[in-house]
A and B are shown apart, each in its own frame.
Chain A
Amino acid sequence: QKEVEQDPGPLSVPEGAIVSLNCTYSNSAFQYFMWYRQYSRKGPELLMYTYSSGNKEDGRFTAQVDKSSKYISLFIRDSQPSDSATYLCAMTRNSNYQLIWGAGTKLIIKP
């Protein structure tokens, strides 16, 4: 079993919808959680970063961590066609450890 599980999709939703992307993990030592966005033919770019449990909001994006359930989510409000990309979750114990990555969810926002 992988340490981090992420549904590969694709997830297709109409423009303007609220999108929910999720990852589950097995290692309770993970404390730092990240979401990266990867456009086609590009490298991943950091979107959101969260420490421990709770919510973090940045514009239309909200990252949520539930350590008791070992479950993290990324919500996108008022989704736009430009949000179409692959979203990868990543997590680690601290900066001295390597990141453990989910396989990525491909998101398609239909105009």
Chain B
Amino acid sequence: EAQVTQNPRYLITVTGKKLTVTCSQNMNHEYMSWYRQDPGLGLRQIYYSMNVEVTDKGDVPEGYKVSRKEKRNFPLILESPSPNQTSLYFCASKTSGTYGYTFGSGTRLTVV
């Protein structure tokens, strides 16, 4: 089944404790992206990658890192999480030149 897989689905952590949210897609998509979704603010792009070893900042990159060493994987790293990073996170992918994203099921992160 064509899909984007995120892990974990739910995560509660403490301020300052480094964490990684994994994202993997099996559709051979070039383009991958991370979003956060907050009530009233909609989806905001954190980082995106147009292909392997090519990443760029979205609208809200502060406090996040990403890497794209393989085409299928695009992990999101929070080096020192803070409570304002409590949010619902989505990984998405698509074929370059198209408009329809495939989204993962989301990771609900709580930072206390």
Q: Show the binding face of A for B, using Cβ within 8 Å.
A: 6, 8, 32, 34, 41-46, 49, 88, 90, 92, 95, 98-99, 101-104
A41 to B88, CA, bound (A): 10
Closest to A91 in B: B99
A104 to B35, CA, bound (A): 15
B residues in contact with A8, CB < 8 Å = 40
Set of chain A residues within 8 Å of B104, measured between Cβ atoms: 43
Q: Could you list some 17 contacts between A and B, CB below 8 A? A: A6-B42, A8-B40, A34-B100, A43-B90, A43-B103, A43-B106, A44-B101, A45-B103, A46-B101, A49-B99, A90-B43, A92-B99, A98-B45, A98-B58, A101-B44, A102-B42, A103-B41
Residues of B contacting A34 with CB < 8 Å?
99-100
- Residues of B within 8 Å of A103, CB to CB, are 40-42
Residues of B within 8 A of A92 (CB): 99
User: Do B43 and A46 touch across chains, with their CB atoms under 8 A apart?
Assistant: no
B45 touches A88 (CB 8 A): no
| For the complex of A and B, 4 pairs with smallest distance between CB atoms | A43-B103, A103-B42, A46-B100, A101-B43
Chain B: interface residue total (CB-CB under 8 A): 24
CB of B105 within 8 Å of the partner chain: yes
Interface of B is mostly: loop
- Chain A residues with Cβ below 8 Å from B32 are none
The docked-state distance in angstroms from the alpha carbon of A39 to that of B54 is 32
Q: How far is the CA of A41 from the CA of B90 in the complex (A)?
A: 11
Q: B105 contacts which chain A residues (CB < 8 A)?
A: 41-43
CA distance A45 to B94 in the complex (A): 12
B99 and A95 contacting across the interface, CB-CB below 8 Å = yes
- B4, B90, B96: which contacts A95 (Cβ < 8 A)? B96
17 more A-B residue pairs beyond the given contacts A6-B42, A43-B106, with a C-beta to C-beta distance below 8 A? A34-B99, A43-B104, A44-B90, A44-B103, A45-B103, A46-B101, A49-B99, A49-B100, A88-B43, A95-B96, A95-B98, A98-B33, A98-B59, A99-B99, A102-B42, A103-B42, A104-B42
